[in-house]
Structure 1
């Protein structure tokens, strides 16, 4: 009886004449899946597709809809943490707008802040609700997820998130390792950065090319700076090899002072220019090569 009453109240709470997508309460399911790289918490929505929370390694969760039939038109949708019908006196929480691109199966991604508030709302019995218009004709449209059986699934989602890597590919695909003035040895910060990258490389075997570009500031003469940049790149290469990276996957280049990221007009700026840039790529392994005069990758 309570399930039927709750379903009726939910439907009555929807805007008049809106095309509403919502799974029957007794059929609501939450699905959790993931690995070291990404975790997903999904509720299928009858007739529409699904709503899901996605958390990538190194990031907080976002919320998005999946709709293979592409119901939604371009524009901005309203995102709500709707009050539970059995808790009278509580209003909906308007979480703001999300930009919708109706041409794809995933029409939008929320911000991390919006997703966090939706997750908190679900634990309180609130429903994630998206209000927009249809792709053809502009009819009002509402997609609603229900909080039934959420608590257990959320614990599974958190357990999955606890096993995520500290970073994702986009965060480490191009990194910079800094060096003290005149020094060629890795400091503690540089080693810590490389350790995080190494952890990712051990998990993702599809990344099998690493390009190292050594740089210096303009404090010494050109020949000295060129040698410094070479020896810094070698220091990073040696650290990677010592920690299991095959030498044949590494390409090494050095450029001296030729490509500063900022002008060498202050000590702070010079510190930014004393660096080895590390670029990760997916593809066939390459052999090590030293190309002192070639331009660095962007």
Structure 2
């Protein structure tokens, strides 16, 4: 194993006569993969690297299958560092060639990230029993070289569950619904067909994401009818949306409602279409930074 690592380093990171190599990778007994996130809004696959940190693959709900790999180091880079990501064969597969996956830059004080295409390549290499390995110079002593490997031992079972999780991710993200406008049919509490689809999305997302700490519901009317009546209508609309979320299991403490009546029109009231735009409920959601 050490001979193979030294040969790779000789090709990609030349060693001086006084250089040292530190190689971090889980042994056969240590190698474990864990599906730490398995919900319709996040899939997360983790692997501990002894004495170094953690390897994390993450995909979030959204319109496309996004994927980010994060090399969460216990000790963050002290300077901007260039690294090379290789795919190495395990020691029990002699004769299999190493291949380069990508080159990347570690930013100062941040963990290493690998974005979509290269991250998918890493998963593919692991699935085939290969060992994605990062090579870079120690930022405290540039003569010393570091190799950080991801072991494929015990990977495939958890990867199968990770892929099943990916298939169940919601096709929209928090950003897609964090600001949602619901519109109403004329003269009542009935949401339009499109608004019903939107509120169902918001409710579904909220049921899975406990990190949403506040849901603000602001309700408005057009100018038809008396001002006091419209104020009450707006309050009923806000309360009905809140009740919908509460019935779905969202705690009342996370929801704040305000009825604004005829205030804050977004269009005039001269046409049917403009009045329809004013009959609305605006849902705003926030999460901790």
Using the size of structure 1 for normalisation, the TM-score is 0.65
207-216 vs 158-167, which moves further: 158-167
Alignment check: 8 A CA contact 2:219 2:235 kept: yes
Matched position secondary structure for 2:198: helix
Deviation of 1:181 after TM superposition, in Å, equals 8.0
Q: Matched residues in 2 for 1:69 and 1:212: separation?
A: 43
In the superposition, relative to structure 1, how do residues 219 and 116 fare at CA in structure 2: closer, same or farther (>3 Å)? Answer: farther
Matched, 1:32 2:34: yes
The correspondence for 1:66, drawn from 54, 72, 91, is: 72
Deviation of 1:186 after TM superposition, in Å, equals 2.0
Equivalent position of 1:23 in the other structure: 25
Deviation of 1:149 after TM superposition, in Å, equals 4.0
Number of residue pairs matched by the alignment: 267
Q: Matched residues in 1 for 2:215 and 2:177: separation?
A: 9
Q: Matched residues in 2 for 1:26 and 1:113: separation?
A: 28
Matched, 1:87 2:85: no
Gaps of 5+ in 1: 284-298
Alignment check: 8 A CA contact 1:34 1:160 kept: no
Gaps of 5+ in 2: none
Deviation of 1:212 after TM superposition, in Å, equals 0.3
Deviation of 1:144 after TM superposition, in Å, equals 2.5
Q: Matched residues in 2 for 1:228 and 1:9: separation?
A: 74
Q: Matched residues in 1 for 2:275 and 2:116: separation?
A: 35
Superposed CA offset, 1:246-279 (max 9, x none): 666532224556375x9xxxx9999988753323
Deviation of 1:31 after TM superposition, in Å, equals 1.7
In the superposition, relative to structure 1, how do residues 207 and 152 fare at CA in structure 2: closer, same or farther (>3 Å)? Answer: closer
The correspondence for 1:97, drawn from 83, 104, 123, is: 104
Matched position secondary structure for 2:114: coil
Equivalent position of 1:121 in the other structure: 125
In the superposition, relative to structure 1, how do residues 207 and 125 fare at CA in structure 2: closer, same or farther (>3 Å)? Answer: closer
Matched position secondary structure for 1:279: strand
The correspondence for 1:276, drawn from 274, 281, 284, is: 281
Root-mean-square deviation (Å):
4.5
Deviation of 1:241 after TM superposition, in Å, equals 4.5
In the superposition, relative to structure 1, how do residues 234 and 132 fare at CA in structure 2: closer, same or farther (>3 Å)? Answer: same
Superposed CA offset, 1:124-180 (max 9, x none): 344323344433244554423233443233123334555666667x54772313426
